[in-house]
């Protein structure tokens, strides 16, 4: 189950072109016993994710949950302790439901100041170490610095970037399968 925000919900592009759909295609070719459920919602925060995780886990009963949340918290300047606590709750809920977690890291633009952006970025590896879950260090590695990979809003990747994102995720997901 992919549990994320607009970056996983294929915001502004055809859903079939998003990285989650591309992941499903890869699984059909390599590990057909798995299927992907995309439980991502554009605009989702970690608070919203925490509020609906138990219901999503009960409904879909995933073996693995790819948690891609936090970017909207950071872009809104929300308190970092709340982001960390909400992600902690999501990971703990996944564990209670016997689902493995792949945590997807995110970074913020520098205009939020060096302290906030560094502390935000540090949340992901800290949680990965604490809970011993696999981590994608940065979902947009090699993509974020290339303007041509983003829609006009400068936030959401284009269809051209989606295969690159899927490969970032696949590299860390494959050993979990």
Q: Span 2-176: which CATH code?
A: 3.40.50.1110
Active centre residues (catalytic): 6, 153, 156
Residue 167, pLDDT score: 97
Considering Cα of 81, then 83, then 87, then 93, what sign does the dihedral take?
Answer: positive
**Rounded distance, CA 113 to CA 64, Å?**
34
Please tell me the predicted confidence (pLDDT) of residue 14: 97
CA angle 142–152–158, rounded 5-degree value: 45
Domain ranges of the chain: 2-176
Write the pLDDT tens digit of every residue in 139-155: 999 999 999 999 999 99
pLDDT average, residue stretch 161-176: 98
Phi, psi of 15 (to 5 degrees): -55, -35
Comparing CA positions, the residue from 166, 170, 138 lying closest to residue 71 is 138
Confidence class of residue 112 from pLDDT cuts 50, 70 and 90? confident
Distance CA 27, CA 18 (A): 15
CA nearest to 133, candidates 50, 57, 65: 65
Alpha carbons 129 and 45: distance in angstroms, whole number: 22
Spatial distance between the Cα atoms of 46 and 5, rounded to a whole number of angstroms: 9
Which is nearest to 18 in space by CA: 65, 68, 57, 75? 68
The pLDDT, as a whole number, for residue 111 is 86
* 162 DSSP assignment: H
Mean pLDDT of the region 112-126: 96
Over residues 74-89, the mean pLDDT reads 96
Q: Specify whether the CB–CB gap between 92 and 122 falls below 8 A.
A: no
């Amino acid at each position: 189950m992919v549990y994320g925000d607009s970056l996983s919900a294929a915001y502004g592009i055809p859903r079939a072109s998003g990285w989650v759909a591309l992941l499903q295609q890869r699984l059909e070719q390599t590990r057909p016993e798995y299927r992907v459920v995309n439980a991502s919602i554009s605009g989702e925060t970690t608070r919203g994710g925490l509020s609906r995780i138990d219901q999503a886990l009960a409904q879909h009963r995933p073996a693995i949950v790819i948690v891609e949340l936090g970017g909207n918290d950071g872009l809104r300047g929300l308190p970092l302790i709340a982001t960390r606590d909400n992600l902690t709750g999501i990971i703990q809920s996944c564990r209670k439901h016997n689902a493995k977690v792949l945590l997807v890291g995110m970074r913020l633009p520098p205009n939020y100041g060096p302290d906030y952006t560094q502390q935000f970025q540090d949340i992901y590896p800290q949680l990965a170490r604490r809970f011993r879950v696999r981590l994608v260090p940065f979902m947009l590695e090699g993509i974020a610095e290339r303007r041509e990979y983003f829609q006009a809003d400068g936030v959401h990747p284009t269809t051209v970037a989606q295969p690159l994102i899927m490969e970032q995720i696949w590299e860390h997901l494959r050993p979990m399968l």
